[in-house]
């Protein structure tokens, strides 16, 4: 993707994985769930590290724990055992309020379905997380305009989600996810509902942001062509994270 605006500063500090500790580090993560026959072990001591500016593909069959891993990495779910570090902060023992603050300030989420607020414009959707974080409306608006321009959506800023194509909606969702300058970006099949051409365009947008900003990205996908374009490809097997 060739940007039409200056690269947005979506991460803080020097770029490059070697410049600072990993933005995500999972150590010995265990998670099981109760079922009729007893406990079902999903994660059995999974380890994972993602550096700043690194883009990692997570390719795993359904039912192997991919969503569970993403939810634990994003502090949406607590592991039964193990430790989660986000931007150098140990998170497993934190209060719910402290975990919420880290999600708001250091983690961005993009899902298969964009989850944009239908009654608000693209600009307002990107402004929303910034205003929730306490930024003044003019500052949030300027930042949102910058991100939409970078995503080649400057001319669509005043449109509501229903007036945007699927690919445009996902690019708005990506802009919203990085609006608060996260250290870690988690993407759960963000191109799963898009045609191959549009999926490639959306991937290019994500990759450009990762390279420009130094945010670390974990990108869950079934698209092996996109996975091959990332820095590393990992999978889940027998409850463990393995490199492919």
Domain edges within the chain = 24-115+181-243
Q: What is the pLDDT of residue 8?
A: 57
Residues 134 and 128: their CA atoms lie apart, in Å, by 10
Residue 140: which H helix or E strand, with range?
A: helix 137-150
Which residues, 6+ apart, have CB-to-CB distance to 138 below 8 Å?
none
Per-residue model confidence as pLDDT tens digits over 104-127: 899 999 887 788 999 999 999 999
Residues 151 and 120: their CA atoms lie apart, in Å, by 18
Q: Under CATH, to which class is 24-115+181-243 assigned?
A: alpha beta
Helix axes 122-132, 137-150, angle to 10 degrees: 130
pLDDT beneath 50, residues of the chain: 1-6, 10-19
Residues 122 and 46: their CA atoms lie apart, in Å, by 38
Q: What is the pLDDT of residue 13?
A: 36
Residue carrying structure tokens 């759960």? 188
Provide the token pair at 30: 């265990």
Q: What is the pLDDT of residue 200?
A: 86
Q: Within 13 Å, how many C-alpha atoms sit on residue 61's CB side?
A: 5
Q: What is the pLDDT of residue 11?
A: 37
Q: What is the pLDDT of residue 21?
A: 65
């Amino acid at each position: 993707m060739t940007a039409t605006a200056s690269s947005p500063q979506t991460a803080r500090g020097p770029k490059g994985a070697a410049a600072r500790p990993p933005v995500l580090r999972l150590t010995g993560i265990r998670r099981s769930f109760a079922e009729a026959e007893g406990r079902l072990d999903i994660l059995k001591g999974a380890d994972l590290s993602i550096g700043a500016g690194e883009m990692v593909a997570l390719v795993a069959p359904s039912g192997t724990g991919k969503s569970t891993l993403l939810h634990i990495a994003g502090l949406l779910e607590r592991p039964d055992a193990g430790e989660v570090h986000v931007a150098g902060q140990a998170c497993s023992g934190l209060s719910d309020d402290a975990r919420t603050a880290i999600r708001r300030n250091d983690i961005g989420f993009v899902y298969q379905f964009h989850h944009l607020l239908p009654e608000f414009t693209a600009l307002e959707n990107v402004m929303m997380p910034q205003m929730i974080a306490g930024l003044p409306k003019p500052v949030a608006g300027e930042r949102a305009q910058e991100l939409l321009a970078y995503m080649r959506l400057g001319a669509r800023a005043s449109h509501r989600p229903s007036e945007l194509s699927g690919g445009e909606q996902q690019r708005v969702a990506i802009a919203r996810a990085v609006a608060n300058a996260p250290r870690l970006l988690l993407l759960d099949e963000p191109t799963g509902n898009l045609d191959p051409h549009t999926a490639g365009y959306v991937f290019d947008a994500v990759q450009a942001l990762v390279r420009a900003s130094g945010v670390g990205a974990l990108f869950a996908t079934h698209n092996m062509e996109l996975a091959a374009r990332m820095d590393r490809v990992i999978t889940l097997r027998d409850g463990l994270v393995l490199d492919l």
